[in-house]
Amino acid sequence: MNILYLNHYAGSPALGMEYRPYYLAREWVRAGHRVQIVAGNFSHVRSHQPQAGDELIDGIAYRWLPLPRYQGNGFGRAWNITRFLQQLWQQAPRLVAEFKPDVVIASSTYPMDIWVARRIARRARALLVFEVHDLWPLSPIELSGMAPGHPFIRLCHAAESTAYQQADRVVSMLPKVQDYMASRGLDLSKLHIVPNGITLDEWQGDGQALRDDVAAAIAEHRQAGRVVVGYAGSMGRPNALDVLIDAARLLRDEPSRQAFGIVLVGDGLERERLVRRIASEGLQDRMIWFPPIAKAQVPAFLAQLDIAYIGWQRVPIYRFGIAPNKLMDYLMARCVVLHSVDAGNDPVAESGCGLTVPPESPNDVAAGLRALAELPEAERRAMGERGREFVLANHTYPVLAQRFIQAMQA
C-alpha cells in the first residue's frame, strides 16, 4: 500500500515533535508499505528545523515544503499555514504522478488540509482519511477564546464539515468524540479510535545519558533532601504550568513539611513568561527550567523523578477526551503521576499509576504532590508498574499502526 501522509508539523526523533507521523510511518514501512510524508520545513513545535526538499529518514520519504518562520499565534502563523496549503495544492499533480497513493491522510491539526487531500485522493482514486488530533475549531474557541464568528473559525468549520461528510475514514486520537462528530455530519461507521503511544525500542537497553545540566539540577535537589517533581513537554496555555508554579510557592511556604524540587524541561509559546515568573517570585531554588532534551534522553530524565506532573486547563473541550504523548512516556517510565485534569478519559485513573486532582487548583496540586510523596516506597513502585503494564497492553506503536491499517482496510 502507498500511503501519502500530509502533516504540516510532522517531525522525527532527531527533529522533535510531532512524533506520531514518524512512528506510525516507520511501523508501516516495516510492514512493507511505502510512506510519503509531506510537511513544512518550519514548525513552532520542533526542536530543529529541516532543510526544504526531499529526505529519507529510516525508510520514510519526507518532503519538506519551504515555509516562512513565525512566532506566536498571530498573522505569521496564519501565513505559514496558508503557504503550506498553497504549495501542497500546487504539488498535488506531482504527488499523484510520482507516488501513486492508495491512501491519502489529512493530518495537520487544523482541518483545512482536507481540501487538498481530497483533490489528491480524487486524482489518484485513493482512500481519503481524516486524522483528528484536536477538535478544530472547538479547540481555538474554547482554549484560546477565539470568537465563533472569526473568519478563521468559519474556515475551520467549513473544512471540518467537508472532512466528516466526505472522508472515507476518520481516525481520532480522542476517545469520546462520537456525539460531536455525528452532529457535524459524520457517519459513525467511518470512525476509528487510534490514540497516541510509545515505541518500544526507545525503552530498551541503557538509552542515552541525560544532559549534564539537567542531571546536575536533579542531583542538587536530591542532595538537599527534596522530592524531585518533573515535567517534560510543551509549555503553552493548555499545559497549565502557572498552576504548578502556584503550587510550588505554596509548598515552599511550608518549611515544616517535605521539600520539593521541580524540574521543567521543554519549550513553547509560554516559556519565556513562565521563566520570568519563576524568577520574579523567587522560586529559582525550588523550580528550574531547561531547554528541551533529545527524545532519546527522555527515559533517563523520567527515571530520575519521584513524581511526574501533567496538568490541563478546566475547559469543556476535554469532555471529548485527551491523548497526550508525554503521559504515555510517563507511564512507560514507571513514573508515579500527578494528573490535574477533568476530562472524558483519564489514563492515570484507568491504569492506577498515580493520583488525579481537579484542574486549575494550586491547593489540590500541592496536596496531591504531598500525598504521593508520603506513600510507602512499595506502593509507589506498584503504581509505576501498573502504568507501564497499561501502556504495553494498549499504547505501543506496533499495535496502533496495525489498528490504523485495519481502519483503512475496513
Q: What is the pLDDT of residues 92-119, one digit of tens each?
A: 999 999 999 999 999 999 999 999 999 9
pLDDT attached to residue 391 = 95
Q: Please state the φ and ψ torsions of residue 230, each to the nearest 5 degrees.
A: -130, 155
pLDDT attached to residue 176 = 96
- CB within 8 Å of 398: residues ≥ 6 apart: 27, 200
pLDDT attached to residue 258 = 85
Q: Summarize the confidence of residues 387-399 as an average pLDDT.
A: 94
How far, CA to CA in Å, does 351 sit from each of 64, 90, 336?
38, 46, 11
- Give, to the nearest 10 degrees, the angle between helix 113-124 and helix 151-166: 30
Helix (H), strand (E) at residue 234: none
pLDDT attached to residue 168 = 98
Q: Please state the φ and ψ torsions of residue 214, each to the nearest 5 degrees.
A: -70, -45
Is residue 143 scored above 90 in pLDDT?
no
How far, CA to CA in Å, does 390 sit from each of 173, 191, 309, 363?
17, 24, 18, 29
Using DSSP, how many helices (H) and how many strands (E) does the chain show? Answer: 15, 14
pLDDT attached to residue 302 = 97
- Can you tell me the distance from the alpha carbon of 2 to that of 98, in angstroms, rounded to the nearest whole number? 11
**What cell numbers appear for 171 in the block?**
481516525
pLDDT attached to residue 257 = 75
Domains parsed from the chain with CATH numbers: 2-197+395-409 (3.40.50.2000), 201-394 (3.40.50.2000)
pLDDT attached to residue 256 = 64
**What cell numbers appear for 137 in the block?**
475549531
pLDDT attached to residue 325 = 86
Question: pLDDT, tens digit, for every residue of 157-197?
Answer: 999 999 999 999 999 999 999 999 999 999 999 999 999 99
Least confident of 62-71, 232-241, 247-256, 275-284: 247-256
What share of the chain in percent tops pLDDT 70? 100
pLDDT attached to residue 142 = 86
- Can you tell me the distance from the alpha carbon of 347 to that of 334, in angstroms, rounded to the nearest whole number? 13
Q: Summarize the confidence of residues 134-141 as an average pLDDT.
A: 91
**What cell numbers appear for 29 in the block?**
514501512
For 29, counting Cβ atoms within 10 Å of its Cβ (0-12 exposed, 13-18 middle, 19+ buried), the class is middle
pLDDT attached to residue 30 = 97
